[in-house]
Amino acid sequence: MSVLMVTGTGTGVGKTVVTAAVASLARERGSSVAVVKPAQTGVTDAEPGDLDDVIRLSGVTTTFEFARFPAPLAPAAAARLAGLPPVSLDRAALRIEELARSHRLVIVEGAGGLLVRFDEEGATLADLARTLSAPVLLVARAGLGTLNHTALTLEAMAHRGVEPVGVVIGSWPADPGLAERSNVTDLETLAARPLAGALPEGAGSLGRDAFARMARAALGPALGGGFDPAAFRATLRLLP
């Protein structure tokens, strides 16, 4: 794949850390990789954004942020509140296609979830993925509520003709409860494929070398890692 989209079942599920992990593995393989954030919201021009975290964790420095809006809202609403033009996903697609011609992998991290609006016409990350014929990696929570959110997002992908790469748990707790342990099998059933990875909670606070080791262990072969979903399932006790 030359373009990979990363979305989540909602905000705060670990998209940026997963994006950094995928970028870290691509960099480790010697691939030329670029990371794109079409719209960054919730930070001012003077504050670090998600791409700063990607650089810190992965060492990938070829990054592009197409627009930034200070309000912590969906891109369309944040642009409207700031009195700024919204992101044009058509222009974003052209820029991403240009990057894909000179990079082995371009990772595009969305804002919020798959159907968050980027402009007043309702353009979404799903539209961008379809325009680029790019597969989408879905980042999900581990705990209660994740099954419904994951099912809805996967259904939306299917309805819009978007290809899912798989589901990654963005933050796997050190001491998972019954809900988290039980949800693993159900997430795989919803995705109709084995889990594509599970990043440990706190992964975003690791140093770069430790983060690279974590990425190798926590992401599956399709993403360049050695995560074994069957071995992961075998560690789970479904009874307290």
Copy the structure tokens of residue 72: 């912590």
Residue 80 lies inside a defined structural domain of this protein: yes
Is residue 126 within 8 Å of 112, Cβ to Cβ?
Answer: no
Alpha helices in the chain (DSSP H): 15-28, 50-58, 75-82, 89-102, 125-132, 146-159, 178-191, 208-218, 229-234
The structure's pTM equals 0.95
Residue 201 lies inside a defined structural domain of this protein: yes
Is the per-residue pLDDT at 216 higher than 70?
A: yes
Is residue 5 within 8 Å of 136, Cβ to Cβ?
Answer: yes
By three-state DSSP, how is residue 120 classified? coil
Domain hosting 83: range is 3-126+145-234
Question: What is the band of 238 on the pLDDT scale with cuts at 50, 70, 90?
Answer: low
Give the rounded percent of residues in the chain with a pLDDT score beyond 90: 95
Dump pLDDT digits (tens) for 180-191: 999 999 999 999
Residue 137 lies inside a defined structural domain of this protein: no
Dump pLDDT digits (tens) for 143-178: 999 999 999 999 999 999 999 999 999 999 999 999
**Number of structural domains in the chain:** 1
Furthest C-alpha separation in the chain = 53
Residue 60 lies inside a defined structural domain of this protein: yes
SS (H, E, C) 144-203: CCHHHHHHHHHHHHHHCCCCEEEEEEEEECCCCCHHHHHHHHHHHHHHCCCCCEEEECCH
Residue 88 lies inside a defined structural domain of this protein: yes
Residue 68 lies inside a defined structural domain of this protein: yes
Neighbouring residues of 18: CB distance < 8 A, sequence distance ≥ 6: 6, 137, 139, 168, 170, 197, 199
Identify whether 15 is a catalytic site residue. Answer: no
Is residue 97 within 8 Å of 65, Cβ to Cβ?
Answer: no
Residue 136 lies inside a defined structural domain of this protein: no
Catalytic-labelled residue, pool 37, 103, 117, 181? 37
Is residue 104 within 8 Å of 145, Cβ to Cβ?
Answer: no
Backbone angles phi, psi at 225, to 5 degrees: -105, -170
Residue 135 lies inside a defined structural domain of this protein: no
CATH number at residue 69: 3.40.50.300
Nearest Cα residue to 80 out of 39, 37, 113: 39
- The reported pLDDT for the residue numbered 239 is 46
Copy the structure tokens of residue 69: 């809006």
Is the per-residue pLDDT at 240 higher than 60?
A: no
Nearest Cα residue to 150 out of 161, 141, 162: 141
How far apart are the C-alpha atoms of 125 and 131, rounded to whole Å? 10
How far apart are the C-alpha atoms of 116 and 113, rounded to whole Å? 6
Dump pLDDT digits (tens) for 6-40: 999 999 999 999 999 999 999 999 889 999 999 99
- The reported pLDDT for the residue numbered 142 is 96
Is the per-residue pLDDT at 128 higher than 60?
A: yes
